[in-house]
Amino acid sequence: MLRWFPENISTYGGDIDAVFSLIYYIVGVWFLLAEGALFFFVFRYRRRAGRAAAYVRGERFSELAWVLVPAVIVLALDFGIEAAGGPVWARVKEDVPEHALRVNVRAQQFNWNFIYPGPDGQFDSADDVTLENELHVPAGRDVEVRLESKDVIHSFFIPNVRLKQDILPGRTIRAWFNATKPGRYELPCAELCGFGHYNMRGFLTVHSADEYERWLQEQWPAAAATAALPAS
Amino acid sequence: MTARAVAKATPEPHHNRHSAPQSFWRKYVFSVDHKVIGKQYLALGLFMALVGGFTAYLIRWQLAWPETEVPGWSYVEPDFYNTMVTMHGTIMVFFVAMPILLGAFGNFLIPLMVGAPDMAFPRLNMMSFWTIFTASCVLMASFFVPGGAAAAGWTGYAPLSADPVYTGVDWGQNLWILALALEFSSFLMGGVNFMTTAINMRAPGLSLFRLPLFVWMQMTAAVLFMLSVGPLIAGAVMLLLDRTAGTGFFLPARGGDPLLWQHLFWFFGHPEVYVVLLPGFGAILEILPVFARKPIFGYRAIVYSTIAAGALSFIVWAHHMFISGIDARLAIPFSVTTILISVPFAIMIFSMIATLWGGSLRFPTPMLFALGALATFLIGGVTGIFLGSAAVDIFMHDTYFVVAHFHFTLFPSALLGGFAAIYYWYPKMFGRMLDETLGKLHFWITIVAFNCVFIPLFLVGMGGHMRRIYNPLQYDFLKPMQPIHEFATIAAIVLLLGQIPLIVNFFWSLAFGRRAADNPWQANTLEWATTSPPPHENFAAVPTVYRDAYEYSLPGNATDWLPQHVPGPALKAQEQAA
């Protein structure tokens, strides 16, 4: 079933996929049992001459147990699913790592602007560099994105990373990821943001460490490129 | 039932009754008769279903073959595509599902099922229909104003919906808000009527726990609607003020907050799912015992589960907002309450399946639709668990997985349940039987085509396909999924064409159908205790109720059914349990 998913390239994506798989197998079994019972009863108890329907009201506890016991099992499995999913959620959304490489993201109808601090390593200074629809990060490094929107709600979505986060105009929202596999990945907007919504397409480029250094040199040739990397 | 309760349940003498109308206008147009009003709702809902179906056709064609002209239309432009997805959702939820399931069948059946001559407030009832009629006209008019109809999604998220500068839609969005506000006030009037009628106008002997489950479902739906819609009406007024009066409730540039709209919308929006879903369940729960010739399994468990699910629905709204930017620590509590709802629904579903156990099942069209609804709703139910888990929702939110999931909850309950209701109660409404051959044709095309449309969309959603994407060919990672879109679109066209047998059947049978007996299905509930169709004021004499609604195949009884109003053994659950 997971083969339908885009390839996972992030450190936490596998955990999300694992929770999906867990739920898939749990509800899959329930689904087959319930559909099986339904189809079996429809076939088995179709009208036949000389056989009357049973008079069962399901009010006595001994009868109702056929419904209540499975319902209690459902409840127990629900808590199991929560126990598996909760820590994954917390890791992805609650705990943004310290000392991550930071990129500011400013979304607008219908473009992604990725803002790098430039050689001085400081945001909101004269040498900030803004790239349109191009996000470049090194592989194997925690990256923090600070998400802002100029106009309406957009949603920052990198399918291969399993990261999605709405961006609300008027506030800054922090999100993070750690991409492990170099390559170029699409970065769509997942929240309806106007007529150009379908075409709000950015790219995440994941470089190997060396290649990222080279890319920095190309962007900011004069200065010490390493300054763009905050000390970790 | 105690003597006091029986006395309380006796209908008030005549002060809220009305004499039979004489003129054409009073009889068929501005009628106060709940049966006529129910048919008016049905006609309105079915007409809007055609409009909603056509929007679905444009959406699906555009997804499958993005760069081609839609047959019977023209090219769909990106802004028009957004209008289509917005109006499809708005129409189907508010102007098809609610008018048909609550408006048509709630109105037609509640007084009949409780043995009352009419709704508690007949004039308010008439007004509720003409208010939603006006709302529908306003909504339809919005297609023709400059800038076109609303295009901010059926959820109307601000700021997109709050300022014309973002969508280019000005009057269309205002009319959308106005149409919704009118529609809500219509259903507030209806809800008051449903509650008052079902509580106060029950026939002697009809205690609350002898009520047909359909009435329970309608009552619960009415309470959920009345308790949840207030915040959204307030939100709609605020949105309208933002658009027209320069306020900034939802606009950060003017000091507002877009999240406020989402809270107000979903605080209503989640209970609203059950407002649409429960009446469909109610119809299925009426139909299963009749054609299984068995009592419903676990009547009380179903009633308590319904109330529990309704209560829980008020504390789950933020599951629509896991990744909206709310405090991340809120997600797990809301995830827990969301997943807990699976328990009452499991009890309801298991009880439905258990009703079939040991039955003597027959399969006329209403039963086929009821079983089909049950079988497909299971898919909607289990896929909700994925989305209820906050961790999985990070990836699944706003993808086609969500689209497939909610179509698998609302299509079985609202549409298949609605079709089941039409086939089951048509004889009572119009005094004629529907044709079984056409009915079965309609069923098989609908059920097969529906699954072919929406099961593939789960896969597309797992592939990460975003919703509301006008042209999927813009993305390389979506391109491999294009054949699935094409398949789903072909199935959707078959699904739409598959409704022709129903339309033909509906009108042909109205004129030429076999005349219906008063109780053609040999059912127990009170609506079958009067003629088909029922006369003005429903019953020649107020029926007295002697027992529960589902006494089928009672041992020692001469027939395998025992209507509620026929004197005989007064059975109580406790006595039989002994």
Q: Tens digits of per-residue pLDDT, B173-213?
A: 999 999 999 999 999 999 999 999 999 999 999 999 999 99
Residue whose tokens read 């996929």:
A17
Contacting A residues, span 13-42, partner chain B, CB-CB under 8 Å: 15-16, 19-20, 23-24, 26-28, 30-31, 34-35, 37-39, 41-42
pLDDT for residue A217: 87
Can you give the length of chain A in residues?
A: 232
- How many CB atoms within 10 Å of residue B345? 24
Structure tokens at B349: 């579903």
How far is B377 from chain A, CA to nearest CA, in Å?
10
Are B169 and B147 spatial neighbours (Cβ–Cβ below 8 Å)? yes
Residue whose tokens read 């056509």:
B54
Contacting A residues, span 115-144, partner chain B, CB-CB under 8 Å: none
Residues B467, B396: Cα–Cα separation, whole Å: 10
Interface check for A56 against chain B (CB to CB < 8 A): the answer is yes
pLDDT for residue B277: 95
pLDDT for residue B499: 97
- Pairing state between β A201-207 and A134-138: parallel
SS3 B150: coil
pLDDT for residue B3: 43
Among the listed residues B52, B218, B44, the one whose alpha carbon sits nearest the alpha carbon of residue B131: B44
Residue among A30, A63, A89, A94 with most chain B CBs within 10 A, to mutate: A89
Helices B34-64/B107-114 angle, 10° precision: 140
Contacts of A152 in chain B (CB under 8 A): 159-160, 166
Interface check for A148 against chain B (CB to CB < 8 A): the answer is no
Smallest Cβ–Cβ distance between B555 and the set A4, A55, A194 belongs to: A55
Ranges of chain A with pLDDT below 70:
1, 222-232
- How many CB atoms within 10 Å of residue B75? 10
Interface check for A232 against chain B (CB to CB < 8 A): the answer is no
Residues B364, B347: Cα–Cα separation, whole Å: 26
pLDDT for residue B558: 87
- How many CB atoms within 10 Å of residue B208? 15
Residue type for position B130: W
pTM: 0.94
How far is B444 from chain A, CA to nearest CA, in Å?
16
Residue whose tokens read 């029922």:
B534
pLDDT for residue A119: 83
Among the listed residues B216, B215, B217, B226, the one whose alpha carbon sits nearest the alpha carbon of residue B191: B226
A:B CB pairs within 8 Å? 302
Contacts of B166 in chain A (CB under 8 A): 109, 151-152, 193-194
How far is B515 from chain A, CA to nearest CA, in Å?
25
How far is B43 from chain A, CA to nearest CA, in Å?
33
Contacts of B552 in chain A (CB under 8 A): 53, 55
pLDDT for residue B156: 96
Given an 8 Å threshold on Cβ–Cβ distance, is B398 in contact with A155?
yes
pLDDT for residue A127: 84
| Sign, CA torsion B27/B32/B33/B38 | positive
Given an 8 Å threshold on Cβ–Cβ distance, is B346 in contact with A48?
no
Given an 8 Å threshold on Cβ–Cβ distance, is B386 in contact with A20?
yes
How far is A197 from chain B, CA to nearest CA, in Å?
7
Are B532 and B520 spatial neighbours (Cβ–Cβ below 8 Å)? yes
Give Cα separations from A23 to A27, B305, B466 (angstroms). Answer: 6, 23, 22
Given an 8 Å threshold on Cβ–Cβ distance, is B343 in contact with A196?
no
For residue A130, report the phi and psi dihedrals to the nearest 5 degrees: -110, 125
Say what the ipTM of the complex is. 0.94
How far is A70 from chain B, CA to nearest CA, in Å?
8
CA angle A45, A48, A51 (to 5 degrees): 85
Residues B103, B295: Cα–Cα separation, whole Å: 27
pLDDT for residue B568: 79
Given an 8 Å threshold on Cβ–Cβ distance, is A54 in contact with B474?
no
Given an 8 Å threshold on Cβ–Cβ distance, is B360 in contact with A189?
no
Q: Tell me: the pLDDT tens digits for A95-144?
A: 999 999 999 999 999 999 999 998 888 898 888 899 999 999 999 999 99
pLDDT for residue A223: 54
| Cis, bond preceding A110 (omega within 30 deg of 0) | yes
Residues B88, B153: Cα–Cα separation, whole Å: 9
Ranges of chain B with pLDDT below 50:
1-15, 573-574, 576-578
Residues A196, A109: Cα–Cα separation, whole Å: 7
Smallest Cβ–Cβ distance between B391 and the set A5, A16, A56 belongs to: A16
Smallest Cβ–Cβ distance between A47 and the set B360, B379, B463 belongs to: B360
| Sign, CA torsion B448/B454/B457/B461 | negative
